[in-house]
Amino acid sequence: MLNMIKRFLEMLFPWKNNTDSRNRAKSRLKLIIAHDRASINSDMLKAMREEILDVVARYVEVDREEMEFSLSNDQRMTSLTANLPIRQVKRLSELKENLTENSAFDLQDIEIVETERGPEEANA
């Protein structure tokens, strides 16, 4: 009987007793899904990182120790963020040599953002 009254009260005032499992589920899932999406292809990420570095290294000298590679999610868009501190921009003549070797790459398609370290070291 006591139980019945308790259940009745719970049904009438659910917020009193409720642990809000709906929002628990949601916040847990947000974490799990972000992790799943990023970790599905950690091998691929590694391979991609090496390849991107090889391409960038044709044009500028990259600080391999300092660079950062990360995946993040927003809705179904997963984005790759690469932060590549540049030590030194290569000279044009050097570039041209590389380009003839590898004509598949169009210089204009590659945007190089220099970090603070870049110009300093280039001057030094």
Partner 1 sequence: MSRIIVVTSGKGGVGKTTTTSNLGAALAKHNRSVALVDADFGLRNLDLLLGLEERVVYTAIDVLAGECRLAQALVKDKRIKGLVLLPAAQNRNKESVQPEQMKKIATALAKGYDYILIDCPAGIELGFRNAISAAEEALIVTTPEVAAVRDADRVIGLLEAEGVNKISLIVNRVKPLMVEENKMMSVEDVLELLGVPLIGVVPDDEKVIVATNRGEPLVLGEYESVPAQAYSNIARRLEGEKVPFLDLMANQGNIFSRLRRMFGG
Looking at beta carbons, which pairs linking 50-55 to residues 24 or more positions away fall under 8 Å?
52/82, 53/84, 55/105, 55/110
- CA–CA distance, 35 with 23 (Å, rounded to integer): 19
Residue 88 has φ and ψ, to the nearest 5°, of -155, 135
Based on CB atoms, which residue is closest to partner 1, 3 or 100? 3
Q: Cβ of residue 48: shortest distance to partner 1, in angstroms?
A: 14
Based on CB atoms, which residue is closest to partner 1, 12 or 104? 12
Q: Cβ of residue 83: shortest distance to partner 1, in angstroms?
A: 25
Based on CB atoms, which residue is closest to partner 1, 2 or 15? 15
Binding site for partner 1 (CB under 8 A): 11-15, 18, 20-23, 25-26, 28-30, 32-33, 36-37, 40, 75-76
Q: Cβ of residue 39: shortest distance to partner 1, in angstroms?
A: 11
Amino acid at position 12, single letter = L
Sequential DSSP letters for 75-109: TTEEEEEEE--EEEEPPHHHHHHHHHHTTT--GGG
Based on CB atoms, which residue is closest to partner 1, 73 or 98? 73
